[in-house]
Amino acid sequence: MPAIDPVELTARLVRCASVTPANEGALEIVEEVLSQAGFNCVRVDRGGICNLFARWGARGNGKAFGFNGHTDVVPVGNPDDWSMPPFGAEIKDGVMYGRGTTDMKSGVAAFVAAAVDFVRDTPPDGSVVLTITGDEEGDGVDGTAALLDYMAENGERMDACLVGEPTCPEKMGDMIKIGRRGSMSAWFKVIGTQGHSAYPHRANNPLPAMVRLMDRLASHELDRGTDHFDPSTLAVVTVDTGNPASNVIPRSCSAAVNIRFNDTHSGASLTAWLEQEVAQIRDAFGVEVEMKIKISGESFITPPGALSALVATAVAAETGVTPELSTTGGTSDARFVKAHCPVVEFGLVGQSMHQVDEHVVVEQIHQLKAIYGRILRDYFA
């Protein structure tokens, strides 16, 4: 079996218009490649989401290294804004264009190609496990979480895992993610009494209450950062009354905030703080306040150690760059994997992800495969 070309495999995946939660044949392509190489492949579809579990090696035999990634992508927006077909995987001047080229079909192609070549050339005394979902860009409820549930129910395991998300901000090799901030959103509705703006004493205007609440939340210092995390942030993302009239005091007003938090906090502790702030506004202004919370993920950290050193050594060897260990950025499926085993993230330069004309330098796909292959060789050495 010839070596797997990660660029060709990336192109095949990009041509699948797998806008989350659609699959459009992407996982079938990966399953075919892995099955031909002797991987035991199981579809772990749940809730209408397509997922793939693949393992080379006997279950429970020796140590197990895992890769995690996703084949779903975000919408393309207006296709007319693209200079290249969004699902064409066309290459121009050494650059491949298309939705998912960076986030993260190249990453999946690179670790699939590296894993296949590795088990064929130097069969390890252990297992190589790949978990690939079609629901990272969506709600995440039935994606990697479903794969980990399947593993727990069937005695499957990873002793360490690398998530292949784009992690490098400027150049190939400059950053490894060893943790992520938590993320939560809160929606508020303040309800007062509607009235004529000329007679404000006959109404109970919800707007001053909402403005005070948003100001208190936005001006509050959550923390000053920790050893591995920047300070937590709270952003007011919308305030809306839906009121077109200038002579009417509205009955209600809505707003929302998003919080990215470090290991000083938990979703529960921040929820308790928000409840206290809401109670103060409710009492001070005599209004009703409704609040809805969604916690997308808790903060986590894989302390610098054997796994981060393994990855950093491979990155430096293949790129000549010493990577920074970071916890910056948004959420990823590492937030689920961290409950199963130590996890870090390393992948491509992510500057064009989710943008019009998303693209990847072709040579970097080959480089990424080489890094992943070296990680496997060093791990099982």
Model confidence at 131: pLDDT above 90? yes
Task: Please determine, for residue 128, whether its predicted confidence score (pLDDT) is greater than 90.
Answer: yes
Say if residue 168 is in the same domain as residue 81: yes
Based on the domain organization, do 222 and 159 belong to the same domain? no
CA distances from 250 to 193, 254, 282 (A): 7, 11, 17
Residues 287 and 326 occupy one common structural domain: no
Per-residue confidence band for 139, with pLDDT thresholds at 50, 70 and 90: confident
Predicted local distance difference test score (pLDDT) of residue 330: 84
* Cβ(136)–Cβ(72) below 8 Å: yes
Pick the last residue of a domain from 277, 297, 317.
Answer: 297
Res 162: pLDDT: 98
Residue 379 CA to residue 46 CA, distance in Å, equals 32
**What is the side-by-side strand order in the sheet with 252-261?**
233-240, 252-261, 182-191, 288-297
Return the active site residues.
Answer: 72, 136
Measured in whole angstroms, the distance separating CA 372 from the mean position of its chain's CA atoms is 19
In a domain, 186, yes or no: yes
Alpha helix locations (H) across 43-183?
106-121, 144-153
Angle between helices 106-121 and 6-14 (to 10 degrees): 140
Same domain? 307 vs 176: yes
CATH number for the domain that contains residue 94? 3.40.630.10
Q: Quote the number of domains for the chain.
A: 2
297, 318, 344 - which closes a domain = 297
Domain contains 235: yes
Write down the pLDDT at residue 221. 97
> Which sign, positive or negative, has the C-alpha torsion 157, 69, 19, 238?
positive
pLDDT tens digit sequence for 256-295: 999 999 999 999 999 999 999 999 999 999 999 999 999 9
Given strand 359-361, what is the order of strands in its sheet?
91-92, 95-97, 359-361
Q: What amino acid occupies position 19?
A: V
pLDDT surpasses 80 at 240: yes
Please tell me the number of Cα atoms within 13 Å of 102 on its side-chain side: 22
pLDDT at 312 over 80: yes
Q: Is residue 129 part of a domain?
A: yes
**Contact by Cβ (8 Å): 4, 112:** yes
For 326, list phi and psi in degrees, rounded to 5: -135, 160
Last residue of a domain, one of 297, 315, 340: 297
121 and 53 co-located in one domain: yes
Supply the DSSP string of 280-315, one letter for each residue: HHHHHHT-EEEEEEEEEE--EE--SSHHHHHHHHHH
Residues 17 and 141 in one domain: yes
The answer as to whether 337 is a domain residue is yes
CA nearest neighbour of 105 among 92, 86, 118, 122: 86
pLDDT value, residue 160: 98
pLDDT band at 119 (very low <50, low <70, confident <90, very high): very high
Residues 123, 29: one domain? yes
**Residue 317 and residue 259 in one domain:** no
Secondary-structure breakdown of the chain: helix, strand, coil percentages, each rounded to the nearest 5: 35, 25, 40
Count of C-beta atoms within a 10 Å radius of residue 243: 14
Please say if the pLDDT value at position 1 is more than 80. no
Which residues touch 78 (CB under 8 Å, ≥6 apart)? none
Q: Which helix (H) or strand (E) covers residue 325, if one does?
A: strand 324-326
**pLDDT-based confidence at 40, cuts 50/70/90?**
very high
In a domain, 254, yes or no: yes
Can you give the CATH number for the domain in which 206 is found? Answer: 3.30.70.360
Question: Contact 10/83 with Cβ under 8 angstroms?
Answer: no
Both ends of the chain: CA-CA distance in Å?
Answer: 23
- Is there a domain that residue 114 lies in? yes
246 and 290 share one domain: yes
Give a yes or no: residue 1 inside a domain.
Answer: no
Query: Taking residues 288-303, what's their average pLDDT?
Result: 95
304 in the same domain as 155: yes
Contact call for residues 191 and 251 (beta carbons, < 8 A): yes
**192 lies in the same domain as 169:** no
Residue recorded with tokens 């989401």: 49
What is the extent of the structural domain holding 233?
182-297
Instruction: Flag whether 108 is in a domain.
Output: yes
How much is the average pLDDT of 108-136?
97
Model confidence pLDDT, tens digit, residues 51-101 = 999 999 988 889 999 999 999 999 999 999 999 999 999 999 999 999 999
Q: In the predicted model, what is the mean pLDDT of the chain? A: 96
274 vs 259: CA distance, rounded Å: 11
Whether pLDDT at 2 is above 90: no
Q: What is the pLDDT of residues 4-17, one digit of tens each?
A: 999 999 999 999 99
- The H or E element that residue 8 is part of is helix 6-14
Percent of the chain with pLDDT over 70: 100
Specify whether 286 is located in the same domain as 308. no
